[in-house]
Structure 1
Amino acid sequence: MIAVVSALGMTAVLGGCGLDGESADVTLRLVAADYGDSAANSSEKYWSALVEKYEADHPGVRVEVSVHSWNDVDREVKEMVEAGRAPDMAQIGAYADYADDGLLYTADDLLSIPVQAGFASRLASAGQVNGVQYGMPFAASTRLLFYNKSLFEEAGLTPPATWEELADAAGALKAEGVEYPYALPLGSEEAQAETMQWLLSGGGGYTDAVGTYGIDSTENVETFTWLRDKLVGQGLTGPVAPGGLDRADAFAAFAEGEVGMLNGHPSLMKMAADKGVKFGMVPMPGLNGESKATMGVADWMLAFKQNGHREEVGEFLDFVYSDKNVLDLSRRYDLLPVTNAASEAMGRSGEDREIKPFLDELPLAEFYPVGKTSWAAVSAEVKKRIGTAVRQGGSPTTILGRLQTTATTAESAAAG
């Protein structure tokens, strides 16, 4: 059953423990994000079918799911929690603040040993705070460099493997009249993703090997200096300044045949194919060769302790994370599975050959530092400021330094 859960809708125990010792009926409430792009493939349909199967085998448990757009779902959950009426489960983009406030069950509290052990190791680690897993990975994606095959053929190009080759290819595409030789979306929608992809390809990242913020590292400054001077400064990123270009607009332009190259995730495949664009995909070029790391993104399932339904939530999540259900979700929405068994099944299947290049990148993927409560503030500042680092006269040293200050201040506040 799919039901809208209002901020006033407390999770309730529908029955009491009888004298015969039978367990009470329980209603579990889940708030989830929508992976669909239309009513026809809304996540409501996925959850409705899954819940129907679960309830058929668990007559004492009722599951109500409220599905919201990604623009709203994190706020909806935050408002419910602040009102003292947390859902039993939430499938959203972050978990660290709730874990830090002591509101969540751990994965150990909920999942059977086989299910918890079945998560891909990098994803399980990304769900930890101080070595304890609170965030259960629900879906994942990685990034590849997409290129327009037709435009490349017309310009006599092969896919780039280094930054220099990428810049040379962009120059050749510009000479052919391509509107966006390389689309660099550093606008407010998802600038933190494009930024991280480039930082990793330059040997840096948001954090160092031990998890300490190092946004203004030498490697990161050199990366953004190269972007400013060799791509943006040469007019190779198109008519819209990177700071004003959102990912959605860059994807739409690629699907219209206006973009030579850009970083993309699996959903771009269908967008481009639907418009008849012939495209190829290669790993992100690095400074001196193929990047040794790629950016991964994960969405999270978390379970709140407020309503006390630990056993019922755990049993439901064990069902959610069965191989069949993980594969169904991944195939339906062009996502990467979060369990080893489902990943192996997808890797072997001819049905999934188009998404396999993204799957192959997952073992190399680095994720946002979502285990830090400071990350939300840092991400917001990246979206706000990073575009100015590559504009004419922009200073990567200054901008990355300001972002490092934001990170340090937020970390200190979290520790206090």
Structure 2
Amino acid sequence: MKKSLLLTSASLLLVMTACSNGSSDNSSSASPSPGSSAKAEAKPDTVKVWTYPVHATYEDDLKALIADFNKQYPHIKVEYEMLSWAEGPKKFDVALNSGNPPDLYFHSVDGQYVATGLAIELDKYLTPEIKEDYLPGTLELGQIQGKQYGLPIYQYQWAWGGNKRLLEEAGIDWQKIQKQGWTWSEFLAAAEKLTKKRPDGSTQYALTTDGNGANNDFIELLTKNAGIPDVLDKDGNFQLGDQRVLKTMQFIKTLLDKGYMPKETAALDAKKRTDMFYAGQTAILSKAIPYYDVTIQNRNKDIDAGKIQGEKIDFVLLPVPHADDAKPGTVMGGEGYVAFRQKKDQGEEHARNTFLVMEALSGAKAGNSANELCLPFVRKSQQKEFEGKGKANPVNLEAANIMAANRVNPVVLSLDVTKADKMKQFKEQVLKPNMQALYAGEKTPEAIAETFKTEGKKFFGQ
């Protein structure tokens, strides 16, 4: 999950999941299944897939899905490459910009992809049966302005995560928070209790995030909970020019000034943030996904087995607190596969074969990714396939379901490709460096708010 779940993803996956390269060795001469002689006689074709270690055993899932696919379509060879979360996005961007992307890429849909003219519109390939299989509101997570460009395999969900022992020692009613949420004022009151000196003289912080400039996750979590849908709203109106964003920046500065977050936040990367959580140096970390429950359970088992040293942790999934005058908003969206043609177009038959592979990697058995990651399914067939097989602590699964009721869909799905591309540029060129400056104490919230207004006019004319 970059925004991908992921793990868009996800900092714990960077720590827990190793990456590798591979390709299927299925031969186009494999025996056809009964009644598939026409498919067996079809022209041999190769579909290339670039993906990520979505969860710890995703490559095993992928091999099994491809093997099942080749029983029905032996003439279509599927070659895959397992990218790393750290370097994969850069590699894909280079390939896309050169006009030679893979046929399928694991990601959420992006207006930038559509703007290249290489993303394949999928509507003509979607059968009524496929559409009916998707749960309400989930197929739309693969659309840009109502046109289908991707097939999601799960709904990603961002939250905060807490150490149960540290929360309870501070008298924090985490179960109430899971059920009812909390405001920024309530979080500040809790943060004061959670911040203290440890026996070894080090500080236990209330909250830690990775502020080294690698992403905008922290500010996006907070702005969604301040009534700000994104840099733009679904109609393309600029959103970072009023008091809501100033209040958000002031809230973050308060966390830093009070010592509730580390002074060195600007230098913390995802691994350091996670290490601090494991060491009990922070009670809460941002961001967290439900899958952390499983990875931490596995870590506890390794501690019991003597494989690693450390304190076992009971993980608590927590909603992000919302501004006192705003409603809670949970950052959610869809991640799965997006289909592309190349500058040297291989034709309609290849495009259709690409969709066949895409559907095979997104169907019922592909729901194991949602099951492993403890994330909401997108298809009815996935729900049925994995019913009763959930892996997260039931209280955390319930908390995730409650948060899902406050889902804020990605604004980018509603924007035209030009505005979506400009919004992405604004996040990289304006939002990210200014957040870094805030963490480092180099700019005040007021100065940053003015910068947003000025740059908003330059980027969007508003």
Tell me the equivalent position of 2:379.
339
Q: Which of 145, 151, 155 is equivalent to 1:136?
A: 151
Q: Summarize the Cα distance change of 1:82–1:286 in structure 2 as closer, same or farther, 3 Å threshold.
A: closer
1-structure distance, mates of 2:39, 2:131: 34
Q: TM-score, normalised by structure 2?
A: 0.74
- The 8 Å contact of residues 136 and 300 in structure 1, kept in 2 or not, is answered as yes
Q: TM-score, normalised by structure 1?
A: 0.82
Residue 304 of structure 2 corresponds to residue 255 of structure 1: no
Q: Which of 387, 406, 421 is equivalent to 1:373?
A: 421
Residue 28 of structure 2 corresponds to residue 28 of structure 1: no
- The 8 Å contact of residues 155 and 176 in structure 1, kept in 2 or not, is answered as no
Tell me the equivalent position of 1:3.
23
1-structure distance, mates of 2:83, 2:445: 37
Q: Summarize the Cα distance change of 1:93–1:401 in structure 2 as closer, same or farther, 3 Å threshold.
A: farther
Residue 217 of structure 2 corresponds to residue 198 of structure 1: no
Secondary structure at the aligned position of 1:280 is classed as strand
Q: Which of 237, 246, 249 is equivalent to 2:269?
A: 246
Q: Which of 124, 143, 164 is equivalent to 2:185?
A: 164
State the number of aligned residues: 393
Query: Gaps (5+ residues) in structure 2?
Result: 1-20, 29-37, 301-311, 414-419
Tell me the equivalent position of 1:364.
406
Q: Summarize the Cα distance change of 1:357–1:162 in structure 2 as closer, same or farther, 3 Å threshold.
A: same
1-structure distance, mates of 2:44, 2:157: 41
1-structure distance, mates of 2:277, 2:171: 19
State the shift of 1:103 in Å: 1.4
Tell me the equivalent position of 1:314.
355
Secondary structure at the aligned position of 1:373 is classed as helix
In the TM superposition, what are the counterparts of 1:7-406 in structure 2 within 5 Å? 22-36=41-55, 41=57, 43-120=58-135, 122-159=137-174, 161-175=182-196, 177=198, 178-190=203-215, 192-206=216-230, 207-208=232-233, 210-229=235-254, 231-241=255-265, 243-263=266-286, 264-273=288-297, 274-275=299-300, 276-288=312-324, 291-305=327-341, 306-308=345-347, 309-326=350-367, 328-339=368-379, 341-342=381-382, 351=391, 353=394, 354-371=396-413, 372-381=420-429, 382-389=431-438, 392=441, 394-403=443-452, 405-406=454-455
2-structure distance, mates of 1:408, 1:118: 43
- Deviations along 1:59-112, one digit per CA (max 9) or x if unpaired, are 222111111112232333333344443322221355322212221221303332
1-structure distance, mates of 2:318, 2:39: 63
- The 8 Å contact of residues 214 and 404 in structure 1, kept in 2 or not, is answered as no
1-structure distance, mates of 2:327, 2:380: 24
Q: Summarize the Cα distance change of 1:27–1:390 in structure 2 as closer, same or farther, 3 Å threshold.
A: closer
How many percent identity over aligned positions? 17
Query: Gaps (5+ residues) in structure 1?
Result: 5-11, 13-18
2-structure distance, mates of 1:385, 1:57: 52
Tell me the equivalent position of 1:8.
none
State the shift of 1:283 in Å: 2.1
Q: Summarize the Cα distance change of 1:145–1:2 in structure 2 as closer, same or farther, 3 Å threshold.
A: closer
Between stretches 380-389 and 55-64, larger displacement belongs to 380-389
Q: Summarize the Cα distance change of 1:119–1:289 in structure 2 as closer, same or farther, 3 Å threshold.
A: farther
1-structure distance, mates of 2:73, 2:400: 36
Q: Summarize the Cα distance change of 1:147–1:79 in structure 2 as closer, same or farther, 3 Å threshold.
A: closer
- The 8 Å contact of residues 224 and 390 in structure 1, kept in 2 or not, is answered as no
